[in-house]
Amino acid sequence: MSYPYQIKSLSEYQEAYKRSVQQPENFWADIANNFYWRRRWDKVLEWNFKEPKIEWFKGAKLNITENCLDRHLETLGNRPAIIWEPNDPEEYHRIITYKDLHLKVCQFANVLKNNGVKKGDRVCIYMGMIPELAISVLACARIGAIHSVIFGGFSAQSIADRLQDARAEYVITCDGAYRGQKDIPLKSVIDDALIACPFVKRVIVSTRTRTAVSMIKGRDVWWEDEIKKIETLGMKDCPAEEMDAEDPLFILYTSGSTGKPKGVVHTCGGYMVYTNYSFVNVFQYQPGDIHFCTADIGWITGHSYIVYGPLSAGATTLLFEGVPTWPDAGRFWQIVDKYSVNILYTAPTAIRSLMGFGLGPLQGKSLSSLKVLGTVGEPINEEAWHWYDEQVGKKKSPIVDTWWQTETGGILISNLAGVTPAKPAHATLPLPGVQPVLVDENGKEIEGNNVSGNLCIKFPWPGILRTTYGDHERCRTNYFATYENMYFTGDGALRDEDGNYRITGRVDDVLNVSGHRIGTAEVENAINMHAGVVESAVVGYPHDIKGQGIYAYVVYTGSHGGDEELARRDITATVSRIIGPIAKPDKIQFVTGLPKTRSGKIMRRILRKVAENELENLGDTSTLLDPSVVDEIKKGKL
């Protein structure tokens, strides 16, 4: 596999960037020509951000799995597509070649068909990080079913919300999942979710932990039995379903500043081209390189840079089941040495947590195979950046700080490893095809350098979301209505004297906890479900490892027999039950009232400042209904 569109120098980058802005359609058509299409497009791009309506490669026909699998068989059939490292380092790893993966995806695609799944049906996938997860995703894509992967850290209630929103009638899960010392009973969580989802027709269960599960007659079947069935039926190959470039490929739920998570929809053609293009260019992937992205496939990073980007490029992608700190904090480094990993892509929160263990876990590790390091998910502080550079990259591996979002499908702003300059804590420059702008509150573009503002993108790229599932208006109001004719990211950014971007964080009510997006409104709703809670307000505060922690102010009238700690634990358990353990508040402060304006609006600015320990300069509090609550809140600060 060669990548004629791989940028090799700064001047090539500048050339490509210029062309992508001046002739976007020709630019992307040239890149798209490197893929396998059953039919070419009639038009490269049709768009307006008003509705929004965004169509890339309109009229083209393809199946993304033919690009990820079939087209590699002849030349790369025996090359590892997936290397799977189990949670327990003592357990045997698995290597799945492109030939094997093709076979397994076809087999499981037939299982799906045999269970009634059809093109356009929504399939929810709730699994641990095992090869069967990637196989499930690809098998859905093979037959044109729309996958919706749900991260294993979400609760039954969250799963039920998502199943209902997507009207998903099929579920793929495991008996359980291993994560470090934990054994998470996934099937039992699904069982709880399905109480509220009687429309689910079939649950296919893959065996991993062999924990006890209840298999409901007529609804639940074992993965392994179903494979045997299709073998008996003699179903081997599974021709790929012909998809329109703009047919949905998947839904991925993500949090916003209001209400329930929304189902971001990505489509087949544009997403494929963009994840591949960004993968090959940002990481400067060379044939034969081992790429290790430590994200979970339950998040967009796993979709784009464990599955679709690498596989469409014929790369070898490493799938790790476990966690960075088990059996010890040297696990990543042990994996890097074991497989001679060339590209390591992880999150600042993981780096900061590993830094906390000192240099011991790095001792005796060579790490000499590493060529490129990457980070994603949240701003990386300079200290963590330098530690990563010095201790892991030995100052010889460029670090790519990749800024992007679930909605963007792939990386939008990042240096290209070793090709364009890196700058600590800066995502740096936009990829070709990406036109960022900074705007002020009124949506006026802020030009020039050494400025800051709200980050928007003023022209579509092939990986941009197309809609939010079942509610196009929500997509419009969330992303395209704040500023006219622009996609609003929800992030703030600075642009330095050389035009490099530094992302400063969310400017809306979305928290980023350990790189996970969580809406404050969502957490508040969950806290308010607790019987003793009258109302609550949630804000973020700086957290050494997680980036942001969750600080909740709670008006509580429940009885707890004077035991505040117990009440806190109950509230935390409620949040775990409603959203999942990832949204548990780090701090809960009981208050008698919240600072509200006369019109009843909570003044979050004050709560944020107190949580950040900035107790002095709280700004103007004269518009508050009852300014005395502020003193109480300050006194009770945790």
Binding site residues, ligand WTA, CB under 6 A: 254, 299-301, 376-379, 401-406, 427, 489-491, 503, 505-506, 512, 517
In angstroms, the first-to-last Cα distance of the chain is 56
Helix (H), strand (E) at residue 277: helix 268-282
Least Å distance, CB 400 to ligand WTA, is: 9
Whose Cβ is closer to ligand WTA: residue 241's or residue 296's?
296
Please, is 237 exposed, middle or buried when counting C-beta atoms within 10 Å of its C-beta (0-12, 13-18, 19+)? exposed
Backbone dihedral angles phi then psi of residue 599, each to the nearest 5 degrees: -85, 5
Shortest Å, Cβ 467 to ligand WTA:
16
On the CB side of 153, CA atoms within 13 Å amount to 14
Q: Which is nearer to ligand WTA, 162 or 187 (CB)?
A: 162
411 vs 571, which CB is nearer to ligand WTA? 411
CB of 303 to ligand WTA, least distance (A): 10
Least distance (Å) between residue 98 CB and ligand WTA: 27
Which helix (H) or strand (E) element contains residue 25?
helix 24-32
Residue 598 tokens read as 């006369």
**Distance of alpha carbon 412 from alpha carbon 501, whole angstroms:** 11
What six digits make up the tokens of 27?
Answer: 């630019």
d(CA 322, CA 464): 31
What are the Cα distances from residue 249, in Å, to 107, 163, 411, 480, 562? 20, 17, 18, 22, 53
β-strands 262-267, 248-254: how paired?
antiparallel
3-class secondary-structure state, position 326: coil
CA atoms within 13 A on the CB side of 517: 28
- Closest CB to ligand WTA among 436 and 490? 490
**Least gap, CB of 509 to ligand WTA (angstroms):** 12
With respect to ligand WTA, which residue has the nearer C-beta, 230 or 343?
A: 343
Give the residue with the Cβ less far from ligand WTA, 278 or 316.
278
Give the nearest distance from C-beta 164 to ligand WTA in angstroms.
22
Give the residue with the Cβ less far from ligand WTA, 28 or 299.
Answer: 299
CA R_g for the chain: 24
For ligand WTA, give the closer residue by CB, 66 or 407.
407
Looking at the Cβ atoms of 190 and 422, the one nearer to ligand WTA is 422
What's the closest the beta carbon of residue 59 comes to ligand WTA, in angstroms? 30
Cβ closer to ligand WTA: 550 or 594?
550
- Measured from the CB atom, is 381 or 592 closer to ligand WTA? 381
Cα–Cα distance between 198 and 194 in angstroms, integer?
6
User: Which residues, in sequence order, are bridge partners of residue 372?
Assistant: 343
Q: Where are the beta strands (DSSP E) in 90-164?
A: 94-97, 122-126, 146-149
Residues in the chain: 638
Closest CB 492 distance from ligand WTA, rounded Å: 9
Specify the residue, 28 or 403, whose C-beta has the smaller distance to ligand WTA: 403
Distance CA 368, CA 377 (A): 26
CB of 98 within 8 A of CB of 284?
no
* Least separation in angstroms between CB 360 and ligand WTA: 28
In this structure, what token pair is assigned to residue 155? 């609760």
* One-letter identity of residue 46: E
**Residue 176 and residue 519: Cα distance in Å, rounded?**
28
Which residues lie across from 148 on neighbouring strands?
A: 124, 251
Q: Which residues contact 604 (CB under 8 A, 6 or more apart)?
A: 509, 537, 539
Q: In angstroms, give the least distance from the CB of 427 to ligand WTA.
A: 5
Tell me how far the alpha carbon of residue 252 is from its chain's centroid. 8
Q: Which C-beta is closer to ligand WTA: that of 300 or that of 550?
A: 300
Residue nearest to ligand WTA (CB): 406
Helices vs strands, H then E, count in the chain: 20, 30
Encoded amino acid at 7, one letter: I
> How many C-beta atoms surround the C-beta of residue 2 within 10 A?
8
CB 256, min distance to ligand WTA, A: 10
Which residues make Cβ contacts (< 8 Å) with residue 627, sequence separation at least 6?
A: 595, 621
Q: How far is the CB of 295 from ligand WTA (least distance, A)?
A: 8
Question: Cβ 491 to ligand WTA, closest distance in Å?
Answer: 5
d(CA 592, CA 631): 11
DSSP state letters, 565-603: HHHHHHHHHHHHHHT-GGG--SEEEEES---BBTTS-B-
Given the complex with ligand WTA, which of 35 and 385 has the nearer CB atom?
Answer: 385
CB of 258 to ligand WTA, least distance (A): 16
| 27 versus 404: smaller Cβ distance to ligand WTA | 404
Residue 368, class by beta-carbon neighbours within 10 Å (0-12 exposed, 13-18 middle, 19+ buried)? exposed
Least separation, in Å, of the C-beta of 493 and ligand WTA? 9
